[in-house]
Amino acid sequence: MNIFISKTKNVDGPDGLRNRFFSRKRMAAEDFKIEQRHLISRRRLVNRAVLGSGVVYGYALEGAGDKGFPCVCGEPSRPVEDAQPTQQSTQTGETGPIALNVLPGFALDRSGRELVLSEAVDVTADNAFLRVRVNGTWCPRAIDEALAAGKYVLAVHYAEFGVGEAVAASLCGCGDTERPHVCESVFFSLRRLEGEQCPCGDTDCPDGPDCRCDACENRRRGPHARLVDWATNREVTAVSTLFPWADHDVAVDDPVELACVEIVGQPVKCKPLMVTSIDARSPRRVVRTNDTLYDLINGCDLTHIADISWASWHRKRSRISWQEFSDFFTSEPAGEDSLLTNFTIRFSGPVLAQTIHRDVITMSVQMADGGTGWIRSRRLPLRDLDLAPSRSDLPPGTTDQIRVAVAKRWVRDEIEMDGESYLNERDFVVEIEIRGDLILDCSGQAVDANSIGLQAAPTGNGTPGGTYFSTFKVMRMTRPAQTGDDDGGR
């Protein structure tokens, strides 16, 4: 099949010419083409320059999971051979290949064209092609002739085709025939995956010098000069050309990648392609809609502290009784020289257990000196952190909960009063600090742990990291269970 540029159907060129209407103007076909070309080209310019490219919504793959490919955008990679197929037979209980089925969606390619899929379709040899690179140029190849089993990147492309009864382009009947309408559609492609890892579709931050100065440098966000540099030096992709393929004109050079798939077997005409594994996340570039940007500003993608076990004490004006405080220290062993407490922190999502060391939490007691009123501070000897999760469905190597353990000897001396005690001298204040910058969630982002006013939980100000600070007042052991004036100097 000869490959040629279809100039007549590619109406999204960078032409600034538009119609000017006035009384008694006579319109010819070319005038209407000018009007349509101007409107389409300007709309697509706005799409690619302002909105960008990628999946706006939808284009889910039925039965898709992230099994079968090492992950490079989130959690640590896992061996391909450890992955399992993504569908289970209801009759035999065994796993097996699944049909490659794409659900409805909307995407924008780099040329600003709208890729609309209005109903679910199976990817077959009739609506997909193999995308190969020949002498630096991407070329389509028939799937039923060239596709072999293996790992591929699935993409969707803008396509269009003529609709309606063909008519002659001229009165004499010579020249090319024309269709009265154009139907916009999509075509799928498969590109052989190079290596074992599925590529990441997200982009890095724009490069730029570390320092920039301008008249706006004291504004809150910027510096303004850097934002100007990004906008000035940004390349807006030129419009790609449509190539004829299977009675369509297809944007072969302009894919929107959807997933990495592993094809099994040979394609059968009119039958969907069969796959054993799908990663429908990593290679996708997504368009940041207003809702998405506001969600990101609000930190909706961040893990935060969802609850603390001492929430009813947090920043409370009145003192809690010694009995309430001492009941949080148990005789349940956590290690050879430590006992578990009931001081528990629960997160809104899974966090990486390997990032949780003893330095992520500190507990201190503040007490006023009897003579001068100086505040003396002593830190509780934390020994272990129990990471048993509150749920059983978390990914391996993660937890959603931390339970604090302290030294046995400290519990005997200070809580059980078997030795010389520090806590029975007077009322005191307990300060607990949780360092969210040191705790990473399973996406590799620091926990949003910023404390908010008097609110015990949830935490967060919409940015990764931060410190959670909690205080409460406790009566000494020998004091009756009533509030008084002695607050430990606090």
What's the pLDDT band for 232 if we cut at 50, 70, 90?
A: confident
Q: Is the pLDDT of residue 170 over 80?
A: no
What's the mean pLDDT in 457-473? 95
pLDDT in tens, 245-256: 988 999 999 999
Q: Which residue, chain included where needed, has tokens 């290679």?
A: 283
Query: Which of 31-35, 194-198, 287-291, 321-325 shows the lowest mean pLDDT across its residues?
Result: 194-198
Q: Is the pLDDT of residue 209 over 70?
A: no
Beta bridge partners of 34: none
Going by DSSP bridges, is the β-strand pair 114-117/105-108 parallel, antiparallel, or unpaired?
antiparallel
Number of H helices, E strands in the chain: 6, 28
Q: Are 349 and 444 in contact (CB under 8 A)?
A: no
What's the whole-model pTM score?
Answer: 0.71
Cα(401)–Cα(349) distance, integer angstroms: 9
What does each C-alpha distance from 187 to 130, 156, 413 come to in angstroms? Answer: 11, 6, 74
Can you give the length of the chain in residues? 490
Tally of CA atoms within 13 A in the half-sphere of 442 that contains its CB: 15
**What's residue 290's pLDDT?**
83
Q: Is 17 exposed, middle or buried (0-12, 13-18, 19+ CB in 10 A)?
A: exposed
Q: Which of 137-146, 237-246, 319-328 has the highest mean pLDDT?
A: 319-328
Q: Is the pLDDT of residue 386 over 80?
A: yes
Cα(353)–Cα(350) distance, integer angstroms: 9
Query: Which of 45-54, 419-428, 429-438, 451-460 shows the lowest mean pLDDT across its residues?
Result: 419-428
What's the mean pLDDT in 442-458? 93
**What's residue 488's pLDDT?**
54
Nearest CA among 314, 395, 296 for reference residue 354: 395
Token digits for 441? Answer: 């969630």
**Phi then psi dihedrals of residue 373, to 5 deg:** 90, 5
> Does residue 305 or residue 51 have the better pLDDT?
305
Sign of CA dihedral 157, 160, 161, 163: positive
> What percent of the chain lies above the pLDDT cut of 90?
49
Token digits for 122? Answer: 């199976």
> What percent of the chain lies above the pLDDT cut of 70?
82
**What's residue 47's pLDDT?**
92
What's the mean pLDDT in 396-410? 94
> Does residue 227 or residue 463 have the better pLDDT?
463
What's the mean pLDDT in 160-187? 80
Cα(97)–Cα(278) distance, integer angstroms: 11
Q: Is the pLDDT of residue 73 over 50?
A: no
Q: Please report the DSSP string for 465-478 in residue order.
A: --EEEEEEEE--TT
What does each C-alpha distance from 440 to 234, 267, 366, 466 come to in angstroms? Answer: 33, 44, 30, 12
Mean pLDDT of the chain: 83
pLDDT in tens, 284-300: 999 988 888 888 888 88
145: left (phi over 0), alpha (psi -120 to 50) or beta: alpha
What's the mean pLDDT in 461-470? 94
Q: Is the pLDDT of residue 61 over 80?
A: yes
**What's residue 100's pLDDT?**
92
What's the mean pLDDT in 66-95? 40
Q: How many CB atoms lie within 10 A of CB 242?
A: 26
Residues 6+ apart with CB under 8 A from 267: 124, 125, 143, 144, 147, 273
**What's residue 208's pLDDT?**
59
Nearest CA among 360, 329, 332 for reference residue 343: 329
What's the mean pLDDT in 138-151? 89
What's the pLDDT band for 218 if we cut at 50, 70, 90?
A: low
Nearest CA among 349, 320, 328, 480 for reference residue 414: 328
Cα(37)–Cα(17) distance, integer angstroms: 9
Q: Which residue, chain included where needed, has tokens 């510096």?
A: 223
* Radius of gyration of the chain from its Cα atoms, rounded to whole angstroms: 32
Query: Which of 198-202, 347-351, 434-438 shows the lowest mean pLDDT across its residues?
Result: 198-202
**What's residue 399's pLDDT?**
96
What's the mean pLDDT in 125-148? 90
Q: Are 326 and 415 in contact (CB under 8 A)?
A: yes
Token digits for 286? Answer: 């997504």
Q: Is the pLDDT of residue 92 over 60?
A: no
What's the pLDDT band for 72 if we cut at 50, 70, 90?
A: very low
What's the pLDDT band for 85 if we cut at 50, 70, 90?
A: very low
